[in-house]
Amino acid sequence: MRKLLLAQSRGSVESFLTILPQVFVFLVMFQLIFMQFDVMTDTNLSQGEVSKIAIIGESGDYQRFPLIGGGSVLVADRVENTKKFIDFGNISSRRVLAIAVDEDESN
């Protein structure tokens, strides 16, 4: 029985050395996909907020640049920091930019 148990545990180091790089690559790819999804979500939400401000005419965190023929361009630009999954010591900064055209500045 003992010989059978020892024979079954054979090759575990080789399996570990084969699986370890695959797990590392998977975690790196998972982090990149999550960070890209987070950037796209923030960009879409910011774009919707600036478009709503341009249509309804509310106040918000944006800059207004006048156009020559009338109206203005609204630009919301912000930089946010997020933590990474693998490298906890360093934070990753991302820039979220949203642009909308306001044809009527009176609202």
* Strands, sheet with 72-83, edge to edge from the N-terminal-most edge strand: 63-66, 72-83, 91-102
In a domain, 80, yes or no: yes
- When divided into structural domains, the chain yields a total of 1
In a domain, 85, yes or no: yes
In a domain, 40, yes or no: yes
In a domain, 107, yes or no: no
Domain residue limits at 9: 2-102
In a domain, 46, yes or no: yes
Cβ atoms of residues 101 and 73 within 8 Å: yes
> Digits of tens for pLDDT over the chain (107 positions)?
556 555 655 567 777 788 888 988 998 888 888 888 888 888 888 888 888 888 887 777 788 888 888 888 889 888 887 766 666 667 778 888 888 888 876 55
* Residues constituting the chain: 107
In a domain, 26, yes or no: yes
In a domain, 82, yes or no: yes
Structure tokens at 45: 């939400």
Q: What is the value of pTM for the model shown? A: 0.62
